[in-house]
């Protein structure tokens, strides 16, 4: 029994390691010019470049409106849009919404879903850090299944192979993100089994 348990643990570690390596390799991609969309959402956290990238896409008219999701409640509009991002007042007033109701990625997805449905948006460009993109995109796709989520990742130093292959801190950061992504996949798989069982019980 102990031998089987040990072999199972080894198998899990090997599978996780292979999956992590693939994850870390895949997220290191340069963003390609996104297609025209209804709107743009940029998630806070990480670097300010996420938000400045969202503003730049809005200025390029890639979408008609920008949501910055997860803004700290103590940060004023002027502090963020004026001082930090240097957004033209006219653009800020007409076309940028600040969401302050999200504390994590799941909250970002819920906040974005409500915003998208209010404005009837069906194609949304998602801007976040490259290593955060798989989990964010999955959460948004689950929250707004009727919408197309177009990824526009912001490259970070954390996904540089020269860094994470030689630095435990960087590898740990990516590994933690990969594990969170797996947890979401597992959660949805379990929920899917529950829904299937319920349908079979009704039949």
Q: What is the pLDDT of residues 31-85, one digit of tens each?
A: 899 999 999 999 998 789 999 999 999 999 999 999 999 999 999 999 999 999 9
- For the cut 60, the answer to whether the pLDDT of residue 198 exceeds it is no
pLDDT of residue 7: 77
Please give the Cα distance from 144 to 190 (Å, whole number).
19
| Mean pLDDT, the chain, integer | 92
Q: What is the spatial distance between Cα 179 and Cα 167, in angstroms, rounded to a whole number?
A: 18
User: Would you say residue 200 has pLDDT above 80?
Assistant: no
Q: Does the structure show a pLDDT above 80 at 193? A: no
Beta bridge partner(s), residue 149: 124
Topology, domain 27-160: Rossmann fold (3.40.50)
Compute the half-sphere exposure of residue 201: CA atoms within 13 Å on the CB side of its CA. 6
In tens, the pLDDT along 3-40 reads 777 777 888 889 999 999 999 999 998 889 999 999 99
145 near 109, Cβ under 8 Å? Answer: no
In this predicted structure, what is the pLDDT of residue 195?
Answer: 61
pLDDT, one tens digit per residue, over 94-111 is 999 999 999 999 999 999
Average pLDDT over every residue of 143-163 = 96
Residue in the block written with tokens 């529950």: 194
Phi, psi for 125 (deg, rounded to 5): -85, 125
The residue ranges of DSSP E strands in 37-196, in sequence order, are 39-43, 66-69, 96-99, 123-129, 148-154
């Amino acid at each position: 029994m102990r031998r089987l348990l040990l072999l199972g643990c080894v198998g899990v570690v090997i599978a996780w390691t292979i999956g992590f390596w693939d994850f870390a390799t895949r997220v290191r991609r340069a963003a390609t010019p996104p297609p025209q969309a209804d709107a743009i959402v940029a998630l806070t956290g990480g670097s300010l470049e996420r938000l400045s990238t969202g503003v730049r896409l809005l200025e390029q008219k890639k979408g008609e409106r920008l949501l910055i999701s997860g803004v700290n409640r103590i940060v004023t509009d002027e502090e963020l849009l004026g001082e930090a991002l240097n957004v033209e007042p006219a653009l800020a007033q007409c076309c940028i919404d600040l969401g302050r109701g999200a504390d994590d990625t799941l909250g970002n997805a819920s906040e974005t879903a409500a915003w998208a449905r209010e404005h009837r948006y069906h194609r949304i460009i998602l801007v976040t850090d490259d290593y955060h993109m798989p989990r964010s995109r999955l959460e948004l796709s689950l929250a707004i299944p009727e919408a197309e989520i177009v990824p526009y990742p912001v490259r970070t130093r954390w996904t540089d192979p020269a860094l994470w292959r030689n630095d435990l801190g960087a590898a740990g950061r990516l590994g933690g993100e990969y594990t969170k992504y797996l947890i979401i996949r597992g959660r949805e798989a379990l929920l899917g089994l529950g829904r299937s069982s319920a349908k079979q019980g009704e039949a």
